[in-house]
Structure 1
């Protein structure tokens, strides 16, 4: 299973292909949609770096599983490592609990309250634009704490895998199980849309998220990190 292809389809950047690289135009939507990925093992990282500088952005590379040679080459050039991350996945049928989705509303577009929750969690307009570019099928989830809208997430599927992105909980509703509820509702949606697995990407220093997903039965499927040109 190529989880990186699923990641690219469900959280897409503005891309162009050049000299064996996929280049992503930098935005305020984070490293995933601002970095270059290698598509040809013979591709020259310095050519990609020149292209990114010509695009008006500092060179940034995503290093995926199996690209240890690229990691070493960039390290030798002085590129700095950052944001080691994992892609986790679990069978959607294992995650789903009957009726869990009833407290979670599905929306075709983000509601005003969802935008507010995301802003409170530093998820702004640039990331909402990423959601708009994502492949179909997709949906927006709104979780409630009683009658109060209190959490939201974005969900999209590509083939046999659905990925949950931008899961955020309002400060007043944290530690009340809303993250679990939204994840189980996401699993129900995944199954309804032909995806047998639910996946997500998370930084390795996010201990709270890793604990939650481990408890739900998620397992590591892939690892990646970035190398950024020194300023």
Structure 2
């Protein structure tokens, strides 16, 4: 907060700072003569008739009365996140797009409209990176029409080339009535370290295509094997699938074998990168090191193909996965978020 030499809090922002990243402190109550304050940091999206809207990096929009302000200032953009292997956002965005390709795609400027009959948001959202070639409101109308024509919910996956651009664009998209959801992070790590995670990977069976058992374990497929599902999961420059059979851990029939393999995983080798997806372990087989064994086996295959760095995506609220990947040496590189159209129309 801005504090003068005499210790007085000062409001140093005005409506002319719209679109800038600000930090404000407001009075929110108090008891026993002691005031209570709340701090908010984000993009100043609107300031009209005494009401301010500030959009946080998470996409949450905070509404506050400017009469409650006790301090405020424009602040620098947030520092870049801690990284593993050196990489730009653009490099990882493209690697992620190549590793999970939709059935249908169309360009809107440099944005990419993607559809796969509703199978995963990632394959059924507009990848908003770069310039759509239209004013934002018109671009979002185009997104709405394109997905509406296919009977799909319009989604935008916002991944900009820099955190400040992403934060400001996210605030603008939210101000146009699109609801943020699905906060996700891209993590990176050393592929060689992943390959060393498990001494014994002999139980892991690798293949070039998912069989029926693999699809039964993969929860996003819902046990189905429609052509749109197969198209997406098979896509990528060099894609491998890992399976640990249901009885491979020596426990025999533990009540879970009828639900598919004990563990599965997917990896896409692409130049120096190896992307990990669909790593799942059956409930009855957890805490036995199977996730590490699956990823180690896939990593070794990707290393054989010349890859050296690893990436994966993890949702911000998936505490178990985040703990697992932290233990494997992965660190957060950047985050992204989806925005869902809430207009209910197709105009």
TM-score normalized with structure 1 length? 0.89
Q: For the residues of structure 1 that align with 2:183 and 2:288, how far apart are their CA atoms?
A: 28
Q: For the residues of structure 1 that align with 2:109 and 2:195, how far apart are their CA atoms?
A: 43
Q: Across the two proteins, how many residue pairs are aligned to each other?
A: 230
- 1:35-184 to structure 2, matched below 5 A, reads 35-41=125-131, 42-43=133-134, 44=136, 45-46=139-140, 47-65=142-160, 66=162, 67-97=166-196, 99-119=199-219, 122=222, 124-125=224-225, 126-132=228-234, 134-144=235-245, 145-146=248-249, 149-184=261-296
Counterpart secondary structure, 1:184: helix
Could you tell me which runs of 5 or more consecutive residues in structure 1 were left unpaired when the two chains were aligned.
none
Residues 1:121 and 1:168: Cα distance change in structure 2 (over 3 Å)? farther
Residues 1:51 and 1:155: Cα distance change in structure 2 (over 3 Å)? same
Q: For the residues of structure 2 that align with 1:38 and 1:5, how far apart are their CA atoms?
A: 12
Contact 2:216 2:224 survives alignment (8 Å): no
Deviating more after overlay: 95-104 vs 177-186: 95-104
Structure number with higher helix proportion: 1
Q: For the residues of structure 2 that align with 1:82 and 1:176, how far apart are their CA atoms?
A: 33
Contact 1:19 1:48 survives alignment (8 Å): no
Q: Which residue of 1 aligns with 2:340?
A: 228
Q: Which residue of 2 aligns with 1:215?
A: 327
Q: Which has the higher contact order (CA 8 A, sep 6+)?
A: 1
TM-score normalized with structure 2 length? 0.61
Counterpart secondary structure, 1:34: coil
Deviating more after overlay: 100-109 vs 212-221: 100-109
Q: What's the CA shift string for 1:103-142, capped at 9, x where partnerless?
A: 211112223322222259846434433112x123111101
Counterpart secondary structure, 2:202: helix
Could you tell me which runs of 5 or more consecutive residues in structure 2 were left unpaired when the two chains were aligned.
1-86, 253-260
Q: For the residues of structure 2 that align with 1:151 and 1:54, how far apart are their CA atoms?
A: 38
